[in-house]
Structure 1
Amino acid sequence: MILKSIIKKIFVAAFALLVFQQVWAEENSENRTAKVRVLVTPGSEWKGKFPPQFALWIQDSDGNFSRTIFATKKASKKKWIFAPKDGRPESLPVWYHSCENFYVPESKNEMDAVSSATPKGSFDVSRKIQLEEGKKYFVFAEVNKSFDYNEFYPKDAGKNSAEYSGVNGQPSAVYRAEISLENHEAKLELIGTGSLDGKSGLIEDKTETLTTAKNLMEKIVVSLEVSTKTL
């Protein structure tokens, strides 16, 4: 009985210490409000009969935070001509899965505030977000243009073919840059493509199959304007 009582006291003390450490960490972590600003310079293939769909979002290095910075309205509303009711998830699959799967969901009002028609030229967008001191974040961009076929994703590919993409043509191109409260500016780099059929949110390392899709973007630069106040 004495041994059992001692073990119980040790367990209670350890649990109390764990709770204290967690509360202390939360109270002493420094969060700052930062304006995340992204300057987008379209490439030579941006303009055309079918405007590209585009999304920008941010998440932390643990993958448990997500906020959309900008999205084209057609993609955010999922309203497409001659498309299924659920829209075209293959257009921006990484962003779609990010919005649905991360802990912080996007509300309708949020999406209305950060979406617009596809810009015709260079543009910059910004959004105020709380960021934590000492933590790394990733800003992602995803862009896709319908009917953008090439030799790897031909228009006449059969439905059972690995190259079949419907009206999508080439898969979405995905860009990424790392930022933090200590690293205020970075250029997004092409890191891969989205799922060809939209069923996955994974980024595939196969940029060698992109041709004209690589020219949808010329440059994407992210910068932070950090508030001096801690939260």
Structure 2
Amino acid sequence: MNLKSSMKKIFVAVFAVLIFQQVWTEENKNVLTVQISAVIAPGSEWKGKFPPQFALWIQNENGKFCRTIFATKKASKNKWIFAPKDGRPESLPVWYHSCKKRYILESENEIDAVTSATPKGSFEIARKIQLAEGEKYFVYAEVNKSFDNNEFYPKDADKNSAEYSGVNGQPSAVYRAEISFENPDAELELFGTGSLDGKSGLVEDKTETLTTAKNLVEKIIVSIEFSEDEK
């Protein structure tokens, strides 16, 4: 057996061991049922003729989508008045791309359980989910309001310009906070914006172009509590 062949076999064996260890670790993580709670305090721009769309969800530290905690019903059902066939992906693009479809990836019963019309004032959400002990998670919130144009996204912008946003006005505002069993309470902070046309799910660093959109929400606080059967 030559050196090249021996090295190849050693590499394959080491790679197999690493894969086995990763799978074993994933399968043997201590998964606990917890209740994640959130308090959302609307800002001065929340109310108006066109109610904002809002979604709150959780991802693990590797960016894997875990679960939607709440979403406004219009956005989750992807039903809009006079909307194009594809709906309005620009309304909450980061959430839509995170859950891979433009609706909640859950049963119809669960969709109804985590959605509602846009609340008119402060509201609270509580939901039981399963999280792996020892992992860090990120809670995201995305909010957007149609027709909230400003000097960066003017109403009369040319369709071929980078400023054109259709009925979207300013792009969605994205908030984020890290949370874990060791640090179970957090306040979400403005993290970036969604893409203007909804074609990307990336968070963009364009918060300087937001004006009134920064006042759609005043505060979002989340916390994790153990369920009674996990204590």
Within 5 Å, give how 1:8-87 maps onto structure 2: 21-22=21-22, 24-26=24-26, 28-87=28-87
Amino acid at match of 1:156: D
Aligned to 1:133: 133
| Deviation (angstroms), 1:34 | 1.1
Match of 1:177, SS?
strand
Match in the other structure for 2:119:
119
* Other structure's SS at 2:119 match: coil
Please tell me the root mean square deviation across aligned C-alpha atoms, in Å: 2.6
Aligned residues between the structures: 227
Alignment TM-score, normalising by the size of structure 2: 0.88
Q: Deviations over 1:80-117 (max 9, x none)?
A: 1111122100000000101117xxx7124232221110
Runs of 4 or more, structure 1, over 4 Å off, are 6-20
> d(CA) in 2 for partners of 1:11 and 1:169?
54
Q: Percent identity?
A: 76
- Asked if 1:156 corresponds to 2:156, the answer is yes
Distance 1:86 1:197 in 2: 12
Tell me, yes or no, if the aligned pair for 2:56 and 2:142 is still in contact at 8 Å. yes
Over 3 Å counting, the alpha-carbon distance change for 1:210 and 1:20 in structure 2 is: closer
**Residue 17 of structure 1, CA deviation:** 5.1
SS at match of 2:100: helix
- Is this contact kept in 1: 2:188–2:221, CA < 8 A? yes
1:182-209 C-alpha deviation (Å, 9 max, x unpaired): 1110000001110001100011101011
Normalising by the residue count of structure 1, what TM-score does the alignment of the two structures yield? Answer: 0.88
Residues 131 and 181 in structure 1, CA contact (< 8 A), matched pair in contact too: no
Letter in 2 for 1:56: L
For the residues of structure 1 that align with 2:7 and 2:157, how far apart are their CA atoms?
68
1:107 paired residue number: 106
Shift of residue 73, structure 1, vs aligned partner: 0.3
Whole-angstrom distance in 2 between the partners of 1:131 and 1:138: 12
Unaligned runs of 5+ in 1: none
Q: 1:117 to 1:14 in 2, by over 3 A?
A: same
The aligned counterpart of 2:165 is: 165
Give distance in 2, aligned partners of 1:23 and 1:204: 33
**Segment drifting more, 128-137 vs 147-156:** 128-137
Residue 65 of structure 2 aligns to a residue in which SS? Answer: coil
Kept in 1: contact 2:65–2:98 (CA 8 A): no
Q: Counterparts in 2 of 1:204-215, with a 5 A limit? A: 204-215=204-215
Matches of 1:200 and 1:141, distance apart in 2: 17
2:196 is matched with 196
**Following the alignment from structure 2 to structure 1, what is the Cα–Cα distance between the partners of residues 71 and 197?**
20
Counterpart secondary structure, 1:100: coil
Contact 1:32 1:228 survives alignment (8 Å): no
